[in-house]
Structure 1
Amino acid sequence: VTPINVRVLAASNSNLIEEVNRGRFREDLFFRLNVLTLTIPPLRDRLSDIPLLVNRFMQLLTIEYEQEQFFIPEQYMHKLKQYQWPGNVRQLRNFIERLVLICDSGFDYSVFDELYFELFEYRSNKIYSQGKRGLQPALETQSLPSITGDSEYAKIKSALETSGYSRSKAAKLLGISRTTLWKKLKKFEQN
């Protein structure tokens, strides 16, 4: 038997002390894990971090998608700092990823404005419903595998238009593989 030294790094978006008090988290496990607690405030409380995060995401995503890196002008960065980001850093990253996918030849003001407007449109239209697991997308935002028929065709057509008819980018936007998109397009051609 070889002795090993293990360290556990765990993260939670729940208040574990409250969970222990309610009997929903084991107290012995809490005390075993609770050596060092770091509390990271939500992005809406650290808006000054947004330019750093945006630049890092731009750097990583343009490499991932093999595109030339571009930068967001200061006045547009200011707009990003005005939004509350209820989805925290993940929502910001997804926004930047969509921007990179659609603006494959450099920053496009109109695309940015459209994506930025959608952030507010989603919130104002209340397309999110409260469920057991928290915020759940309503029907309008479901991924392609859960949609059939005419609405599937409309969603594919919209994704192709948004991506400048790039099948790879459209498939990414739809959450399906490029092969699956190709098969669905063939099926629609036959019908």
Structure 2
Amino acid sequence: MSTSFFFGYGSLVNRRTHAFDPAHKAVAKGWRRVWARVPGRPVSLLTVSRDAGSEIEGLIAPVTGEGWAVLDQREADYDRTDARADVRHEAPTVEELAIYVVPEADRLPPDTEHPVLLSYLDVVLQGYLGEFGKEGAERFLASTGDWRVPFLNDRDAPLYPRAQSLSDAERGFVDAALLYVGAQVFSR
């Protein structure tokens, strides 16, 4: 069994988007989620920033064989960063634990030309609802920075490559959450 793990805090919490197993619930202390766009990408995404007073929930899962190459390709705009000292978990024998972070120098604020995809947020919140329940998804909302960024409603024709179908209850939670946090949702 592998002793190398990743900590997922966004779409990697949704087990439907990857085959890394077994996954374990975990908490990363000293990190906060933020929205960012990266030069050269058409959409914005989640990343994390150091924040001594914050912690975020997520999943860790072991990485074996070519797994790091697969993850590094999926998370191409991120640096794989050591987080072993920051993450609490109940997994046995974790010798390496990485978190993916967009470098500060590469981050720009999301805008309407580079929005967050609603299909991406759907996947993220579906993962949190499945792993941590409604209360955990609400903690996700509270532990993620500025929500007043543009979200492109692409649900009818998802642009996110790992888009998932949501139940009516999951979709209702996401829609209510967007209203609650004051997000700007638009269509093209």
Q: What is the TM-score with the length of structure 1 in the denominator? A: 0.27
Greater fraction of residues in strand: 2
Of structures 1 and 2, the larger Rg is shown by: 1
